[in-house]
Amino acid sequence: MRIIFVRHGETDWNLEGRVQGNANVPLNRKGLEQAKRVAVRLKNEKIDAIYSSDLERARQTAIEIAKYHKAKVRCSILLRERKFGELEGMPAQDYKKIRDETGIPKYLYRPPGGENYPDLQKRAEKFLSMIKKKHPGQNILVVSHGGVIRTFISVLAKKHISCAPEIEQRNTAVNVIEIRRGSPPKVHCLNCTEHL
C-alpha cells in the first residue's frame, strides 16, 4: 500500500498565525492556487481512493486533486485537525505561551476542550487500520492537516509520539509513504513543496 499525505492549502488564519483546529476556515486565494498546483503535481499518480478531512480547507484541496482522477472524495472526521477547544482562533504565540506556562510537554498538552497528540494517535491508528483492510495493496491519497499528518508519519515510522510536533508540514506539502508487509515503511518524500 502506498499513501500520499497532502496538507491543505493556505487559509487566512494560517496567514495570520492563528490556531485553527476544528474551526471551519476555507482556503484563501493563495491556498486555492496552491491546491491547483499540488493537483497538477499529482495528476499522473495512480490513485485508487481519496480521503479527506471534512473541514472545508482540506475538502477544497482534495476536490482540486480529484479533478484529475476517477476516485471520488470521501470525507472522514478521523482526519480532522487536532481540536484546540477553547483556544481555537487564538494567535499561535499566545497559545504557545499558555501551553509552555503549564510545564506540560508539548505533545501531552491538551487545551481545555481539546486534544493532545496521543488523542490524535488513536485517531490515526483507527484510520490506518480501516484503510489497510479496505484498500490492501492500493494507492491512497489522504488530504488532512499539519497535526494529523505529523501524527501519521510518527505512527508509520514507529517513532514515539513526542516526535510528532517537530515534523514540519507546509501548506500543500506532499508526503509519500509505502507500507510493505514484513518490512519497515519506505518514505519516498516528506514535506515536499517543489510544486510551489
Does residue 88 carry a catalytic annotation?
A: no
How far apart are the C-alpha atoms of 73 and 78, rounded to whole Å? 14
69 catalytically annotated: no
**Which residue in the list 10, 64, 69, 81 is annotated as catalytic?**
81
| Alpha-carbon radius of gyration of the chain | 16
Contact 140, 1 (CB under 8 A): yes
- In the numeric block, the cell 519497515 is attached to 184
Indicate the SS3 state at residue 12: helix
**CB-based burial of residue 93 (10 Å sphere; 0-12 exposed, 13-18 middle, 19+ buried)?**
exposed
Rounded to the nearest 10 degrees, the angle between the axes of helix 117-134 and helix 146-156 is: 70
Catalytic residue among 8, 64, 69, 88: 8
Q: Which residues are catalytic?
A: 8, 81
